[in-house]
Amino acid sequence: MAARSLPFFVKRKYECHTDLGGNMADVYLARDTKADRPVVVKLLRAADASNPQVRDRFIQEARLACKCSHPNIITTYETDEEDGLPYIAMEYLEGEALKSTMERGGLETQADAVSIALQVAQALDYVHKVGIIHRDIKPANVHIDAERRAKLIDFGIARVKESQLTQAGQAIGTPRYMSPEQVMGKEVTPAADVYSFGVMLFEMLTFEAPYRASTAEELWMAILHGEPNLEPLRAVQAPDSLVQLIARCLAKDPAQRPPFREVATALQDLLSGQSAPAPAPQAPPPREPAPQAKALKASVIAGAVLVVVLAAVRFGGFIDPAAPPPDDRAVVTPADLPATLTLPSGDMVLVPEGPALLGANNQSVPVEGFYIDKTEVSNRAYALFCDQTGHPKPPGFAEADPDAPVVNVTYADAKAFAEWAGKRLPASQEWEKAARGPDGQPFPWGAEMDYSRAHVPRTPRDRLKLAAVESMPEGVSPYGALHMVGNVWEWVDAPVEPDDSQFNHLREELPGLSPPLTRTEAYYQIRGGDMRLYLPDEAAAGRVNDFGVMAARVPQPSIGFRCARGARQTVLQ
């Protein structure tokens, strides 16, 4: 459908007169001319309607929404197509999103917050009973009207339990509210909604998040391994029963989280006064108020005035950039460093601080401690990055093995992934130390070439395909890194000026490149060799202590990357 001037009709029934914006769908305020009532019409854009995955997800949203009939869920009247474009006609809601209510200090009492949470819990109990998992519970997806009635909205990434639209390995949701199983891209159950609800209720009561983090990586680590800090709940004198309910909602193990039927009953008991208030704690040290701060007044639940302020928190992203450093963070010493970091963007292994024998002459070089990815970045991890950031996927990505290393990425692509993951690309000396160890051994596994330990051709006639990043553990480096010889070349953060031989070789290898290579553009080292590079035994060591050169803008089917990060970075305790 071509762009139309307002007003225009959909199905000769809905007169669309006001553009409300939208993302992949155009959203309009309209009048239902037959029922004579205001409605909202979501019309999938033509460019997205041609994408089968996007189209299927939009249609699924419409079907799921039409399936729901509950006073605390937005009513969807109809779904159909107009000129081949799917649309949804739904209830027009007056009021504002819970997110906006919170940001302007509109939750003035604990009773108000718990009442709204109870309505959401009742809606989610209904949603789960009809077989739907919402998967994106957050303040932006709860609407509040003037009578303080809450309505659950936006089923855009919800799914029916048996749906195959989203497979395991895809992390779907808003990072701040994602459960551990969502962060890891595992199959989710209704318990994932319980976790997200727990985060939201925590924020409604305290205007703080249960975890404090300054990078995406730290947020993930906290969700996966950290314990929520419940002190802000006690500081606002939330009843013990409410604190414990939220703690159960935030349990790492989905099986330990209560179903929404139980959550709703507990919240109803609190509102009816069946749960005794907790004794008033000692007042916490005074906090510096944020701009436009507003005190949240205690209700009949706690029976006392709360000493807490509302900071201007931005919900829905990884971090609050204006937030002060959390008190429970500290710079760690080398003795405190874990040998392995388990992260959704890829596990990392520690390379301790100390000298290493590097280069063809085994020169002793001091190298600060750092972590390096255990494997090359996989297609699975890169898909998570692209899905959450909108970064374009490389050519051939849809057909690629999720467990194989991502390839056809430029240096800039690799750097963007690293920044998203709270990491960076390794320096040349870091990469080499991680591959050879401190003693300068020629190969990750020892002194002799062993073709059974590296994904490389044994003869010039061999033609290999990419191997899974976790394969060939027998070729592990002294620090636990895999595939540091063969499989794919890896970008490293080492600018280099190609000599005449290297430059001429690249121009011969890339004859159709447009624009052609120039001597003045950026070039970087690539390390480790790939699955197509045959070298006789006596030259094989060159893959570890030597490097190739590639123009930063040129993606290749034989070049991937892995990431690093400094070991002395401030980390979440």
Q: How many CA atoms lie within 13 A of 555 on its CB side?
A: 14
Q: Tell me if 423 sits within 8 A of 493, measured CB to CB.
A: no
Q: Tell me if 159 sits within 8 A of 133, measured CB to CB.
A: yes
Residue that the structure tokens 């789960």 belong to: 128
Strand order in the sheet with 348-351: 340-341, 348-351, 370-373, 564-566
> What amino acid is encoded at 467 in this protein?
A
Angle made by CA atoms 564, 392, 494, in degrees to the nearest 5: 35
Virtual torsion, Cα 246, 249, 253, 255, nearest 10 deg: 130
Burial label for 174, CB within 10 Å (0-12, 13-18, 19+), is buried
Distance CA(568)–CA(217), nearest Å, equals: 15
> In this structure, what token pair is assigned to residue 524?
């970087």
Q: Which of 404, 400, 420, 403 is nearest to 412 (CA)?
A: 420
Q: Which of 10, 41, 6, 7 is nearest to 26 (CA)?
A: 41
The H or E element spanning position 86 is strand 85-91
Distance CA(208)–CA(172), nearest Å, equals: 23
The H or E element spanning position 357 is strand 354-358
Distance CA(34)–CA(514), nearest Å, equals: 57
What is the sign of the dihedral through the CA atoms of 235, 237, 241 and 245?
A: negative
Coil, strand or helix at 64: helix
* Beta-strand pair 489-495/559-561: parallel
What 3 state SS string does 518-573 have?
A: CCCCCEEEEECCCCCCCCCHHHCCHHHHCCEEEECCCCCCCEEECCEEECCCCEEC
Residue that the structure tokens 């849809």 belong to: 398
- Which residue is catalytic, options 136, 373, 493, 530? 136
Virtual torsion, Cα 250, 252, 256, 259, nearest 10 deg: 50
Distance CA(14)–CA(92), nearest Å, equals: 13
- Strand locations in 374-422 (E): none
Virtual torsion, Cα 339, 342, 348, 349, nearest 10 deg: 20
**Is 136 in the active site?**
yes
Q: Tell me if 561 sits within 8 A of 376, measured CB to CB.
A: yes
What is the Rg, in whole angstroms, of the alpha carbon atoms belonging to the chain? Answer: 28
* Beta-strand pair 85-91/76-82: antiparallel
- Residues known to be catalytic: 136
